[in-house]
Amino acid sequence: MTAAPVHGVVLQGTGGVYQIHLADGTTQAGAMRGRLKREGGVKIAVGDDVLVEHDQATGGWTIVEILPRRSRLARRAPGSAHMERIVVTNVDQVVVVFAMVRPEPNAKMLDRFLVVAETNDVAARIVINKVDLDSRRAAEELFGGYAALGYPVHYTSTVTGDGLPELLEALRGRVSALSGPSGVGKSSLLNALYPGLDLRVGAISESVNKGRHTTVGARMHPLPRGGYVVDTPGLREVGLWGIAARDLERCFPEFVAVLGTCRFADCRHLSEPECGVRSAVDAGRIMPSRYESYVKLREEVEEVERTW
């Protein structure tokens, strides 16, 4: 006998078997119904909302329907220029984690993550971890400009506990994807916020000052106070998939107000005369580092478009 379908959230998938978090708080292993495989043509991804049926005779669980996705983050599939691999779906916010030191923060890398969130219409917030190894003032001098752009910025330390209550509240009830370079302390942060998650933490390699990846694949974790968090394998899971060069300018919120001031409607904001964006940079209204990130990303996206 099969019970009526119930709602679940896909936490992880391996070899066609999916860990599904149910409304009653339990996690069950299930597989996709054969007909859904043949007719749907859609692969299940971490974060998917699904309907599952329980066969009371066998005790097995079967995914019978994938519900519409609210959002998704994807990257180019390995070995393919035109195929994508979905990292996670139904994300409410991307939480970009960097460290003050060890490894040193990289503004261009941070901007890359923010552009990925912007192009997918997903909210982003920034976490600057390991502030105990430097100073809060130094951190604010480096990253305060992002707060002025509207991105929430959290300054945290798992050693002193600074910033953890505020970050805990920001994660409550939301589906959050954690991104950032290796070694910045993403797993350590989650362990400090939710000790029961018991995530593995990789040591910093002193020789190259880069952390070893400790997360094998994207996995979603239910949070005790509601919501989910996905700890992704760092930079390997993030790309500029799906971003058109002409749309990149709108992924920088501070550019939007001056786009109409360019002399040419199709201005690329690189070397064109009377460019409103470059004038705003010269006037101090746009951070030079942000403009440099735009130029680098624009060149990268245009190169991808030329190879298609």
190-242: pLDDT as tens digits: 999 998 776 654 443 333 344 444 444 578 999 988 999 987 654 444 567 77
Find the CATH number of the domain harbouring 233: 3.40.50.300
Same domain, 196 and 231: yes
What is the sign, positive or negative, of the torsion defined by CA atoms of 86, 87, 88, 93? Answer: negative
Phi/psi for 219 (5° steps) reads: -140, 135
Peptide bond into 103 cis (omega under 30): yes
Same domain, 35 and 162: no
Same domain, 118 and 230: yes
Residue 2: DSSP 8-state: B
Residue 233 lies in a domain: yes
Same domain, 93 and 219: yes
Q: Among candidates 150, 173, 177, which has minimal Cα distance to 96?
A: 177
Number of separate domains in the chain: 3
Tokens of 139: 């951190």
Same domain, 295 and 278: yes
Same domain, 18 and 103: no
Same domain, 95 and 231: yes
The predicted structure's pLDDT at residue 239 = 61
Same domain, 212 and 100: yes
Residue 1 lies in a domain: no
The predicted structure's pLDDT at residue 232 = 66
244-289: pLDDT as tens digits: 899 999 999 999 999 999 999 999 999 999 999 999 999 999 999 9
Which stretch of 78-82, 91-95, 106-110, 179-183 has the lowest confidence by average pLDDT? 78-82
Phi/psi for 263 (5° steps) reads: -65, -40
Give the residue numbers spanning the domain of 162. Answer: 75-80+86-237
